[in-house]
Structure 1
Amino acid sequence: MGCEDFLEVDTPKDQIDRQMIFSDDRMAVAAVSNIYTQLRSGGFLAGNRVGAGYLFGCYTDELEVVNPQLSSHRSFYENAVLSTNTAVKDLWTAGYQQVFAVNSILEGLEGSSAVSADIKNQLKGEALAIRAVIHLYLVQTFGSVPYIKTTDYNLNRVVAKDPVNVVMKNVIDDLLNAENLLTVNYPSVEKVRINQTVVKAFLARACLYAGDWQNAEGYAAEVIAVNNNMEPVSSRFLKDSKSALWQLKPETDGKNTAEAIEYIFQTLPAPQSKIATTLLGVFETDDLRKKSWLKFVGDDGLNVCAYKYKIIGNSSPSQEYSVILRIEEMFLIVAECAAERSDWDTFNTIINKVRNSAGLSDLNLQNKQEAVNAVLQERRLEFFCEFGHRFYDLKRRNRLEALKVVKNNWQSHYDLLPLPESELLLNQNLLPQNTGY
């Protein structure tokens, strides 16, 4: 899908529609709620096979694709992704469709005098945060990309790429603006909309990706100060999980998650994919995450599915929501940043909180390289099949070459996906293509 598919010229009818949508608080809230629905159903945060969790699980060393008919996903698994790959195009298209929807919200709020000031600030903060998060995934996946801030078709159809550092600055600027507009109170009864704490958590992640250890640790510590509840491993993905900072709820009450439907299999052969044997070998014997988050099917110990989410069918009411962001990430960010400044008391205290919660014994490390390795190990075990954490962690630490152990044809330029060929044909200002494609 090209620019003209997701960016429309404003017409008088569009203006009338926008005036109607932002004619009162209730309608404006409904418009923003629809953005969350879009996030759940497609793009990087989707829990099914089109999302970053599944795709980068295949791309790295978390999942083995066993169904030859999943051609786009086998290309990820075999590291043979081309610019014509459907899954690549879908990531890009869904991302920018969501950005367009967010920008439409922001422009509508700006032009509305009918929405109350408090609601306007809340919704603007949510929209800015979502725009930042989508661009954070886009830039970490594709490299230089446009940072889109308008719905103006004439501008967007010829937009050029922004350098990575410019995109990251815009991400952080949007998050900082969102932080100022939001409060620590969730705008809904559940944790299904963004509040100030969620924004700070994404600021911590963005700063971590940028190598800004001081601010990454600072924001993560602020989040922990508000919510330091690590749920037992067995209940981290339940609807009422205290570990969860932000969740996406199912489309209707009684349904559960796309993740459960996508990852769980109960008979052999596995229908689509299974946990990679290399990941199985990384868990320590007593790790509760292995016992609770993996399901062994059959007797050979080789057919294993991700079992973080356990309910495939309906329940009354819904018991599991998709957990987009959780507190364990903040603890591990603090630990990693403490290692960077050789603060071993903080490092060992914090990483052992995560390890102890998984039933593991304490570490007592005093060496930076060993400490960073330990953090990456914990992140690997804590966040497998969650939104591409493994890929982005190896990338930011310049360790993607480690995948050569299981990916014989791995090449250095696989740190970025190719830009979709269809987009380059529509807008030559997006050239050049990423190196190697």
Structure 2
Amino acid sequence: MKNISTKYIAVFSFFILGLTGCDSALEVDLPSNQLSSETVYSSDATTEAAVNGIYQSMVTGFYYNQIHSVLGQTSDELILRSGLTNQYTTNELIETDGSMSSMWTELYKTIYNANNVIEGITKSTTLTPAKTKQWIAEAKFLRAYCFFYLTNLWGDVPLVLTTNIDVSALLPQSSQDVVYAQILKDLTEATQDLPTNYSNYDNERIRATKAASEALLARVNLYLGRWNEAANHATFVINQTGTYNMITGLSSTNSPFISDNSEAILQIPYFNVNYTYEGSSVFVNANTPTYLLRNGNSLFEADDARKINWTRNVTSTQGSLAGVAPTKYKNRFTDSPVERSTVLRLAELYLIRAEARVQSNNITGAQQDINVIRNRALLGNTTLTDSNQLLELIALERQREFFAENGHRWLDLKRTGKINETLSALNGKIWTATDALYPIPETAIRSNPFLKQNSGY
């Protein structure tokens, strides 16, 4: 698999390595041998490496593991194969939990790298003007992506828009409305200057494009209940039929998780490997996986191609069915198939537009979008016309399409107001309404006296 050139490793590793072992979740101590900002942003080549460094800061536990596994367990999606419970499956999270700390920190590390690029490029006078616009747009897109998860997981969070530690280390929390306003601002500005295709990257779908920003804008507007805007942004991507098309004939070598497939909008590249951590260690395609789907086979209709291709029946030592494991990623430490962690893909845009169309009373259009997803799964067209029933079907199709993937189910339950009634009814959950927000890590609160812990912790 062709990846970001290794000649850039030395440059952007400084950005990544400089963000480890921080005393504060927002404090960054860079190594003494780091290249100066003036040096990094003095040439196009080193600046390109710095931008690559933002993406490579996403090859960490939150982005390839916890975004799927922790969010899946706190929702009604994943349980442990062992049958044991933990703080995630019971929703008894504590502020000293290691995953909470690493998730929070890794998101802010990526934001730091994005801010570094924006500031460094803005100060430079030696870079190619056309390229600087694209690089800043990429940084703003990635910053918006991180803030989307921060505010949806923790609610009010510090809105860090600088690398100045004297400013960022003691920032108070901004309201979710303010954070969303910044997300929309970043994405709107990014959309203007992002490339329209992947030709600059040998057609590898590993860097943000205009379609990626439009896709995230569609999601954000859906979450905000801005139906027309959500539908319009989704339509922009769906209409790029020369680049994006739904896969037909799902298989282990023909899936939305194969590198550079026609449904992929943005994928995370790894260095010198063809497998993903999802397939090699998080959701292992074996008889003894770590996680099972809580709803098992009952989640799917008969003959659903997603059940057949994206799950595996797990048998006990006695030969009985022990559960159903997610196996969307197939590659475990081998050269084939070449897979990448998938951040954004086309199916989401159809389901976003379907939901927005129902909310706007465009029933026929919503049915058409739902049927695109159902037909790809080898299921028949929906005949539902009632708005509430269609919304329930869309929620179910989202659950089937995005199980164990990027926390969609956890976030869907929250944004649709279904989380309390859904999770309080489950065995093994010790649920209270305040569990809908994660606890802000104790390390962050200890280092910043202006942070206030979320209610219930």
User: Which TM bucket (shorter chain)?
Assistant: over 0.9
Shift of 1:8: 4.0
Alpha carbons 2:269, 2:340 under 8 Å: kept: yes
Asked if 1:323 corresponds to 2:320, the answer is: no
Q: Of 113, 122, 133, which aligns to 1:110?
A: 122
**What residue is the counterpart of 1:421 in the other structure?**
442
Asked if 1:281 corresponds to 2:298, the answer is: yes
Task: Point out the more displaced range, 115-124 or 302-311.
Answer: 302-311
Shift of 1:2: 5.7
After superposition, the Cα gap between the structure-2 partners of 1:199 and 1:3, relative to the gap in structure 1 and judged at 3 Å, is farther
Asked if 1:133 corresponds to 2:153, the answer is: no
Q: Which digits, 9 at most, give the CA deviation of each residue in 1:67-109, with x for residues without a partner?
A: 599xxx9211121101111101111111111111111111111
Asked if 1:76 corresponds to 2:88, the answer is: yes
What amino acid is the match of 1:88? M
**What residue is the counterpart of 1:343 in the other structure?**
362
C-alpha separation between the residues in 2 aligned to 1:53 and 1:113?
41
C-alpha separation between the residues in 1 aligned to 2:260 and 2:184?
29
After superposition, the Cα gap between the structure-2 partners of 1:5 and 1:326, relative to the gap in structure 1 and judged at 3 Å, is closer
Alpha carbons 2:156, 2:173 under 8 Å: kept: yes
Alpha carbons 1:9, 1:152 under 8 Å: kept: no
Alpha carbons 2:151, 2:179 under 8 Å: kept: yes
**What residue is the counterpart of 1:218 in the other structure?**
232
**What residue is the counterpart of 1:229 in the other structure?**
245
Shift of 1:40: 2.1
Q: Of 386, 399, 402, which aligns to 1:367?
A: 386
Residue aligned with 2:325, SS: strand
Residue aligned with 1:428, SS: coil
Residue aligned with 2:342, SS: strand
C-alpha separation between the residues in 2 aligned to 1:265 and 1:74?
22
Equivalent residue pairs, number: 423
Shift of 1:66: 3.9
Alpha carbons 1:274, 1:304 under 8 Å: kept: yes
C-alpha separation between the residues in 2 aligned to 1:297 and 1:237?
22
After superposition, the Cα gap between the structure-2 partners of 1:411 and 1:11, relative to the gap in structure 1 and judged at 3 Å, is closer
Asked if 1:123 corresponds to 2:127, the answer is: no
C-alpha separation between the residues in 1 aligned to 2:83 and 2:298?
25
C-alpha separation between the residues in 1 aligned to 2:25 and 2:454?
23
Shift of 1:6: 4.8
Shift of 1:13: 7.8
Task: Point out the more displaced range, 335-344 or 293-302.
Answer: 293-302
Shift of 1:395: 0.4
Stretches of structure 1 that go unaligned for 5 or more consecutive residues are none
What's the Cα RMSD here? 2.0
The 5 Å alignment of 1:31-70 reads 31-43=50-62, 46-48=63-65, 51-66=66-81
C-alpha separation between the residues in 1 aligned to 2:30 and 2:311?
49
The 5 Å alignment of 1:79-94 reads 79-94=91-106
**What residue is the counterpart of 2:196 in the other structure?**
184
Asked if 1:205 corresponds to 2:230, the answer is: no
C-alpha separation between the residues in 2 aligned to 1:380 and 1:265?
20
Residue aligned with 2:119, SS: helix
Residue aligned with 1:360, SS: coil
Task: Point out the more displaced range, 120-129 or 16-25.
Answer: 16-25
Residue aligned with 1:296, SS: strand
Stretches of structure 2 that go unaligned for 5 or more consecutive residues are 1-20
Q: Of 395, 398, 406, which aligns to 1:376?
A: 395
Q: Of 130, 143, 154, which aligns to 2:155?
A: 143
C-alpha separation between the residues in 2 aligned to 1:218 and 1:161?
31
Shift of 1:12: 10
C-alpha separation between the residues in 1 aligned to 2:32 and 2:151?
34
**What residue is the counterpart of 2:321 in the other structure?**
301
C-alpha separation between the residues in 2 aligned to 1:194 and 1:121?
13
Alpha carbons 1:213, 1:337 under 8 Å: kept: yes
C-alpha separation between the residues in 2 aligned to 1:4 and 1:405?
38
Shift of 1:214: 1.1
C-alpha separation between the residues in 1 aligned to 2:25 and 2:377?
46
Residue aligned with 1:107, SS: helix
Alpha carbons 2:257, 2:340 under 8 Å: kept: yes
Structure richer in helix, relative to its length: 1
After superposition, the Cα gap between the structure-2 partners of 1:11 and 1:295, relative to the gap in structure 1 and judged at 3 Å, is closer
Residue aligned with 2:211, SS: helix
C-alpha separation between the residues in 1 aligned to 2:418 and 2:411?
10
C-alpha separation between the residues in 2 aligned to 1:240 and 1:77?
34
What amino acid is the match of 2:300? F
What amino acid is the match of 1:435? S
Shift of 1:429: 0.8
Q: Which digits, 9 at most, give the CA deviation of each residue in 1:25-53, with x for residues without a partner?
A: 1111111112111112233xx222xx211
Task: Point out the more displaced range, 19-28 or 295-304.
Answer: 295-304
Alpha carbons 1:8, 1:152 under 8 Å: kept: no
The 5 Å alignment of 1:376-415 reads 376-401=395-420, 402-407=422-427, 408-415=429-436
Q: Of 227, 249, 274, which aligns to 2:269?
A: 249
**What residue is the counterpart of 2:259 in the other structure?**
239
C-alpha separation between the residues in 1 aligned to 2:31 and 2:119?
14
What amino acid is the match of 2:88? F
Q: Of 186, 200, 210, which aligns to 1:174?
A: 186
**What residue is the counterpart of 2:13 in the other structure?**
none
After superposition, the Cα gap between the structure-2 partners of 1:80 and 1:66, relative to the gap in structure 1 and judged at 3 Å, is farther
Shift of 1:5: 6.1
Residue aligned with 2:71, SS: helix
Alpha carbons 1:3, 1:157 under 8 Å: kept: no
C-alpha separation between the residues in 2 aligned to 1:134 and 1:373?
29
Q: Of 173, 176, 184, which aligns to 1:161?
A: 173
